[in-house]
Structure 1
Amino acid sequence: MASAKFTVFQPVPVPSGPPEYEAQRASILAEFAAKVLRELFLPQAVFDSAPRNVTAIPRECGLLTAEELAITENYDAVTLAEAMRTRKLTAVAVATAFAKRAIIAHQLTSCLSEWFMDEAVARAQELDAHLARTGITVGPLHGVPVSLKEIIPLAGHTSSTGLLVTRHVDDADSQLVAILRAAGAVFYCKTAQPQAVMSYESASPAGRVLNPHHTGLSAGGSSGGEAALVALRGSVLGIGSDIGGSVRGPAALSGVYGFKSTSAALFPIHDFVKGGFAATMTVPAAAGPIASSLRGIDLFTSVVHAARPYLQDPSLAPLPWSGLAGTGSAKKPLKVGFMTHDGAIVPQPPVLRALAWARAQLDAAAPGQFETKDFAPYGSAQVMASQRAAYWPDGGRGLKAALAAAGEPMFPLTEWIIRDGAAATEVTGEMSATGVLALRVARDAFRVAFAAHWTAQDVDVVVCPAFVGPAPVHETGLYWNYAAFWNYLDYPGVAVPTPVTVLAKGGEGFAAEHAVPLSDECRHVRQLWGEGDFEGAPVGLQIVARRHHDNELFGALHVMKEALGLK
């Protein structure tokens, strides 16, 4: 029996603020709840005795029909598109199934910022009618449901930069959304992100996103809502953004796939943030898909590339796209470097176990297919110090003003990420043009030095952690090193799941070879490991390639996918 009220599971509430702020929050939450049909409310008993791992609840709760379960569990973006093209499935059935599953996922993890099933079904009806009338699909994504991170403009819907004062309704699609819509995509929800869209915990005034595999842990950020939704099969293809690991981190922590391209290469983002974001003067941002399969990511990228977005946005390079059939697939042997730590923080034991598993899988493949080798770390601590300052060249002044305008409290991880920027501008109040230039000059010098380092290592791709551990306990996602490092270099990377999950508490510790912490941050990461309970959390890894070698990366993934069990 459905609950009498719409409930979103929140075992760890977000910080509260003054009455005016709380009233605005309550209004936003009530507006969301008013759109949800009563028959889609989960029973209160689900929340009263919710397990840590909620991934089975959508299947077991009784709110989805057998057909809806089959649609949401047995297809990825590629097979969904084919099933609708051949009329095995209707777009209406698909939109209905995923919209229903998405609202179930939201009640379990607070993964959505907006939900609009009626609009999705109406669009699906138009697509079904078009196919019946003409015998052809609208495009390669005909009827495929696509979820969008809140920051991405979608006509008639709300977006923000994770701050109440920036919340507004967009009057037009962003360029990326327009491309997907023209290809036949059906939009049905937008997904939650953190305050200021700069945190490894997707906690905002609307609530805190929970990791579906362990609700005591974070789903990551800033595309945490997308990753949680895909992990719960409420989406097979969602779009996020990444300036410090915001696609790859959440994907790895939730056991799904995520792709950060080389910036200004494949995906247009110029209309995501009105007025721009000062951090991108030094650290480039990129859009990226989070999906249930690699081939779903390849399909998405192929669709966007075919639209020639660089003709509308000249900041994009007209790179080719060969995807999973890329040039990396021709290399024999494929030279794969394994970076087990970055010289600053040794990752927690399950991550090291996942790396060892991946290397063993490649070593056991057909002779001559792979050459695996150690990849030496280089300059991570230097990069992170520069990068954190570069994120906030105004020292966070604009952010603080935006918070003050709505009476919005600064969340702990927001305060953490602006700390270095605030310290760097404590005297001047804001970094000068000369100061920003100095950051860029240092960045470019590091890129040249690292390119030489990569060449000396003689590898095609690198396998490394996506985060210092599995999903962190709420409010402890502090150390972005392993993902943010590649943003600074602007190297493309894909987060992939592994079969490794965290053992019961006390089941594994640091090996003798890592007895001495590499830094104070490394020591703290060990402390967090000892204090937390991460049992059952998935462990993903990251595979990266040189800047503008996106095709080579996917070609390599094509060769690696059988050995690593990738879909």
Structure 2
Amino acid sequence: MSSALLPVVEPIPFEPASQKYQTLRTSLLEKFAAAVPDALKLPRSIIHNPPVDVTAIPRECGILSAQEIDITENYDVTSLAQAIASKKFSAVAVATAFSKRAIIAHQLTCCLTEWFMREAVAQAEYLDDYLEKTGKPIGPLHGVPISVKLRISIAGHWSMAGTLDTLQKATKDSQLIAILRNAGAVFYCKTNQPQSLMHLESLSIWGRTLNPFNINLSSGGSTGGEAALIALRGSLFGLGTDIAGSVRAPAGYCGIFGFRPTSHVLPTKDFLLNVPGFAAELNIMGCVGPMSTTLRDMDLFMNVVMSANPSIQDPQLIPTPWTPRRLEKQPDGARLRIGFMMNDGVITPQPPVTRALTWVRSQLEKSGFFDIKDFVPFRAAEAMKNLNSAYWPDGGRTLKRHLAMTSEPMLPLTAWAIKDVENIDIGVAGVLEQRGKRDLFRYEFAEHWASQQVDIAICPVSVGPACMHDTTFYWNYTSFWNYVDCPGATIPTPIKACRKGTEYYGSEDQVPLSDECKHVRQLWAEGDFEGAPIAVQVISRRYHDDELFTALKTVNEVLERSTSSRR
């Protein structure tokens, strides 16, 4: 390793074979390291001999002051904005605290691709001056630091669409960033994502992002940098994108909240468009979504963005009012109807996931607030087969051309993503055929949902807890909902994975449902997932995003009370 690089924890060193690519990588990492003062660097002893769980290090390493620990650990976005508006904290103090904690988090998990503390502090100084002169905050996010996935454009900073040849500096803020900046948000870092943007892990030219709760596990992807950063409270709120689970999977892996809206609800105008897998959006739309430490912060974000009427600037958006309904206003006092899908008929999730679902169901049943029933899975194997062609209609040829531009080596999970369709170019007619299959599937799924007589569904986020590195092979539990374009969110539970050896539950589950299910069991037997948090996924009908948040609030209140009683 060059002495000019910032050392990070690397349980599996990333050493690309291509000398050209390695030279480009070293140049990027040296530029990153040049911005980091020595006072914010962790001792080499931690980097070379870290604990498996690194979540306590930011608090204990001695780099943060007592006030900075308080700012980063004892507030969410909502309460922090209130504290800044009341002048309990200055925006500068907050920007400094989160910038410092973010660079600590990066050294532990390789979660960042860019860190610009100096710019953030300058922005915060302007906000403090504004508050002092006017006596009021500039907007509801006044002084709140927000972290952003690499792909999403911020003026003057790197954006990349999954391959090195697409790396470029944005000349202006994307529409969403402009809305948040106008509301007072402060931007201070950008976060890691994987090659191709089509892994549920995050390994790129900047390195491999680790799970803070167990560094031998993945933080998820493609918004894995955000998830790891938020889990270490180097951020309270971040932005990601999701076309196959890229917000929900990392949020679930790292035990935080994440939301993937229905397509064309939130603005993606001015995001980097030259994406190697962009043809996927001919049939499966990617979405931007928030990730946070609390549910109310995601609701605050939605209110801020939707109140800006983003559809006026982005004609792709469907004007959608953000007016989450209160449950007590339901007709005839009807209780919320929740369907639990314990497996999708293709892969039985690993034991901690089943345990978390069982716990959530039991708590909701005990509350007496809900009508609980089973949710029958719907043709998941067919959906996954159709999705593979939809994601890569040219068989990965465009992706390969992008990789070749900089001699970028294809990473193992990129090869896995395209293996079933590699070099099978379905052409225009095939894309149209896929559109027909997709629409018919959605019509039939809508009928299926109606037959279940539920308002929301609760299901796994993934086939297991956070995966061992380079083994996140199966996207079923997130990408299915992208295929039918239903909004979904993750809710953390108090359940954590224990050491390997726990048996699968129930006699009916003893026989694997498929070859994929058998492989997932093998991965469970071979891995050690100690400490990995488990979340569940909550789904509502397409364009019922506001109803989803109504349900989320009520479900989360019950689970938070139950979690408190366990302590």
Q: Give yes or no for TM over 0.5.
A: yes
With over 3 angstroms needed to count, the CA separation of the structure-2 counterparts of 1:488 and 1:454, relative to structure 1, is same
Q: Give the length in aligned residue pairs.
A: 557
Change (3 A) 1:44 1:264: same
The residue that corresponds to 1:332 in the other structure is: 334
Tell me which moved more, 231-240 or 552-561: 552-561
Write out aligned runs for 1:112-511 (5 A).
Answer: 112-265=112-265, 267-275=266-274, 277-323=278-324, 325=326, 332-365=334-367, 367=368, 369-422=369-422, 425=424, 430-511=425-506
RMSD value, Cα: 1.6
Structure 2, unpaired ranges of 5+: none
Q: Provide closer, same or farther for how the CA distance between residues 5 and 412 of structure 1 changes in structure 2, counting only shifts above 3 A.
A: closer
SS of residue paired to 2:554: helix
Distance 1:527 1:187 in 2: 42
CA distance in 2 between counterparts of 1:179 and 1:563 reads 33
Q: Which amino acid aligns with 2:162?
A: G
SS in 2 for 1:355: helix
Query: Could you report, residue by residue, the CA deviation over 1:204-234 in whole angstroms, capped at 9, with x for unpaired residues?
Result: 0110000000000000000000000000000
C-alpha change, 1:328 and 1:207, in structure 2 (3 Å) is: farther
Q: 1:98 touches 1:235 (CA, 8 Å); kept in 2? A: yes
CA distance in 2, matches of 1:328, 1:23: 61
Cα distance between partner residues in 2 of 1:362 and 1:58: 35
Provide the rounded CA distance (Å) in 1 between the counterparts of 2:158 and 2:409.
21
Counterpart contact for 2:173–2:270, Cα < 8 Å: no
Distance 1:328 1:559, change over 3 A: farther
**Distance in structure 1 (CA, Å) of the matches to 2:172 and 2:12:** 35
| Secondary structure, counterpart of 2:422 in structure 1 | helix
Q: Distance in 1 between matches of 2:11 and 2:248?
A: 25
Report the Cα offset of residue 453 of structure 1: 0.6
Task: State which drifts further: 504-513 or 53-62.
Answer: 504-513
Q: Does the aligned pair in 2 maintain the 1:150–1:160 contact within 8 Å?
A: yes
Contact 1:298–1:323, Cα closer than 8 Å, also in 2: no
Change beyond 3 A, Cα 1:328–1:505: farther
Q: What amino acid is aligned across from residue 220 of structure 1 in structure 2?
A: G
Question: Structure 1 pair 152/324, CA: closer, same or farther in 2 (3 Å)?
Answer: farther
Closer/same/farther in 2, CA of residues 323 and 166 from structure 1, 3 Å limit: same
Query: In the alignment, residue 452 of structure 1 is paired with which amino acid?
Result: E
Change (3 A) 1:325 1:58: farther
One-letter identity of the residue aligned with 1:245: G
Letter in 1 for 2:406: A
Measured in 1, the distance between the counterparts of 2:148 and 2:205 equals: 18
User: What's the secondary structure of 1:141's corresponding residue?
Assistant: coil
2:551 is the alignment partner of 1:549: no
Paired position in structure 2 for 1:561 = 556
Match of residue 39 from structure 1: 39
CA contact (8 A) 1:163 1:403 kept: yes
Q: Report the Cα distance in structure 1 between the residues aligned to 2:4 and 2:486, rounded to whole angstroms.
A: 49
Report the residue type matching 2:296 in the other structure: R
Measure the CA separation in 2 of the matches of 1:486 and 1:76: 29
* Counterpart code for 1:516: V
Q: Which moved more, 1:385-394 or 1:334-343?
A: 385-394
TM-score, normalised by the number of residues in structure 2: 0.96
Structure 1 range deviating more: 288-297 or 316-325: 316-325
Listed one character per residue, the Cα deviations across residues 328-360 of structure 1 (whole Å, up to 9, x for unaligned) are 877631110000000100000100000000000
Give the 3-state SS of the residue equivalent to 1:124 in structure 2: helix
1:245, distance to aligned residue in structure 2 (A): 0.3
Tell me the CA shift for residue 507 of structure 1.
Answer: 3.6
Once residues 311 and 328 of structure 2 are traced to their aligned partners in structure 1, the CA distance between those partners, rounded to angstroms, is: 22
- Quick check: 4-13 or 159-168, which moved more? 4-13
| Equivalent position of 1:521 in the other structure | 516
Q: What residue ranges of structure 1 are gaps of 5+ in the alignment?
A: none
Q: Verify the 8 A CA contact 1:332 1:370 in the aligned structure 2.
A: no
CA distance in 1, matches of 2:324, 2:495: 27
Return the offset for 1:48.
2.9
CA distance in 2, matches of 1:86, 1:65: 21
Whether the 8 Å CA contact 1:329–1:559 is kept in 2: the answer is no
Q: CA deviation at 1:529?
A: 0.4
Q: Render the CA deviation track for 1:424-478: whole Å, top value 9, x for unaligned.
A: x1xxxx3221110110110000001011111110000000000000000000000
1:40, distance to aligned residue in structure 2 (A): 0.2
Contact 1:5–1:41 (8 Å) recurs in 2: no
Contact in 1 for aligned 2:338/2:373 (Cα 8 Å): yes
Describe the SS at the equivalent of 1:288: strand
TM-score, normalized by length of structure 1? 0.96
